[in-house]
Amino acid sequence: MPVKHKTPFELIIPECEGDLLQIQDLHFAYPDGHQALRGINLSICEGEKIALVGPNGAGKSTLMLHLNGILGEDTPITIAGLKLEKGNLPLIRALVGLVFQNPDDQLFSPTVFEDVAFGPLHMGLPEEEVRLRVEEALAAVGMDNFGSRLSHHLSMGQKKRISIATVLAMHPQILVLDEPTAGLDPRARRSLINFLRDLPITMLVSTHDLRMVADLFPRMVIMDEGKIVADGQTQLLLKDEDLLLAHGLESLS
């Protein structure tokens, strides 16, 4: 299991040269010509919790969709030593757990149980193992008895949690979340933040919620117009008001 999470105040970014995820000079343009990524360089080590912030249209979602090969086929991305190419994609999708912003996109099976079981079933795991993983994943997100429920009838906060469970059941090495607190009321948001805090897994989370970033993520990466404009300790970056303002972010003070 990855390194245990340290609180933001005794801040040490582990020197590991990106043993889990490495991106070297990634460029990407959409078919309509829009240049979404202009030379991205990023390294993530095991155990890190990183926030990805920036204005809408900065390329955050585009970057995330590259991490499991949904976008971009021949890319300079390496995950746990595996180069991201067509042949490796099925395995990479077991390593990188991508949770989309809209849980309605994520939950497409009849019952909660079947949704969480989808990943392990597709991986060809035996039935007993699948059941075990589903139970574990649901317990991890605090939704133990929701197996037989219909996702259609759940609240937004519940759906968001189940979405995370659907990915956790695959035992990924890195969890990539796209705006997990968007659309949540304060109670559900607080609950999700606590949950993420206690989850001992490498995380890359894109968000507009700077308070959550200050709370949970020692390292912050700021993106704007397809480039990474800052990458460092959250505490320090949050103090640089000019930087925040220049890239569409509001300071917390």
Partner 1 sequence: MLYAPTNLHIPDGFLTIIVSLIFWLITIVMVGLAVSKTNKSLGEKQVPLMGVMAAFIFAAQMLNFPIAGGTSGHFLGGALAAIVLGPWAGILVMTAVVGVQGLLFQDGGLLVMGANIFNMGILTAVIGFGLYRLVVHQKRGVRLVVAGGGAWIATMAAALAASLQLWLSGTTRLEIVLPAMLGVHALIGVGEGLITVAALAYIEQTRPDLLNAEKTTREGGRGWIVGSVLVTLAAVLISPLASGSPDGLERVAENLGFLGSGQDAPYQILPDYTIPFLGETAVSTILAGVVGAVILMGLLILVGRNLRRRTEV
Partner 2 sequence: MHVDVFDQFHFSESRVHSLDPRVKVVITVAFILSNAILPDGSWLALALAWLFLLLGNDLSNLGLGFTLKRSLIALPFALVAVSAIFSPLGEPLADWDLGFMILVPTDAGLIRFASIMLRSWLSVQIAILLVATTQFPDLIHALEHLRLPRTLTTIIAFLFRYLFVLTNEVHRIQRARKSRSARLPNVRGGGNLGWRIKTTGSIVGQLFTRSYERSDRIYQAMISRGYTGHIRTLNPHQVKSQDWLVLGISAGMLILIQLVGWIL
- What is the β-pairing status of strands 77-79 and 174-178? unpaired
- Is position 6 an interface residue for partner 1 (rule: CB under 8 A)? no
Task: Return the range that interacts with partner 1 (CB under 8 A); candidates 7-15, 23-31, 150-158, 200-208.
Answer: 150-158
Structure token digits, residue 187? 């109670």
Query: Counting contacts by CB under 8 A, is residue 252 touching partner 2?
Result: no
Question: Which residue type does 37 have?
Answer: L
Could you say whether residue 139 binds partner 1 (CB under 8 A)? no
Q: What angle do CA 201, 87, 27 make, to 5 degrees?
A: 70
Taking CB under 8 A as the rule, which mask of x and - marks residues 91-110 in contact with partner 1? -------------------x
Least distance between partner 2 and beta carbon 150 (Å): 10
Q: Which of 31, 153, 186, 187 binds partner 1 (CB under 8 A)?
A: 153
Q: Is residue 6 involved in binding partner 2 (CB under 8 A)?
A: no
Could you write out the three-class secondary structure of 197-246?
HHCCCEEEEECCCHHHHHHHCCEEEEEECCEEEEEEEHHHHHHCHHHHHH
54, interface contact from partner 1, partner 2, none, CB < 5-8 Å by kind: none
- Token duo for residue 108: 């497409």
Candidates 3, 144, 152, 200; binder of partner 2 (CB under 8 A) is 152
Q: What residues pair up with 98 in beta bridges, in sequence order?
A: 176
The rounded distance, in Å, linking the Cα atoms of 100 and 94 is 16
| Helix locations, the chain, DSSP H | 60-66, 89-95, 103-106, 112-122, 127-140, 156-168, 186-198, 210-216, 234-239, 241-246
Could you count the other beta carbons within 10 Å of the beta carbon of residue 247?
A: 17
Binding part of the chain for partner 1, among 8-16, 80-88, 148-156, 211-219 by CB under 8 A, reads 148-156
Residue from 166, 181, 202, 206 in contact with partner 2 (CB under 8 A): 166
30 binds partner 2 (CB under 8 A): yes
Q: Which does residue 94 bind out of partner 2, partner 1, none, counting CB within 5 to 8 angstroms by kind?
A: partner 2
202-206/49-53 β-pairing: parallel
Q: Measured from the CB of residue 36, what is the shortest distance to partner 2 in angstroms?
A: 8
Beta carbon nearer to partner 1, 122 or 211:
122
Q: In the complex, which residues of this chain contact partner 1 (CB under 8 A)?
A: 110, 150, 152-153
Binding site for partner 2 (CB under 8 A): 30-32, 34, 65, 68, 70, 90-94, 98, 100, 102, 104-106, 108-110, 114, 118-119, 121-125, 152, 166-167, 170
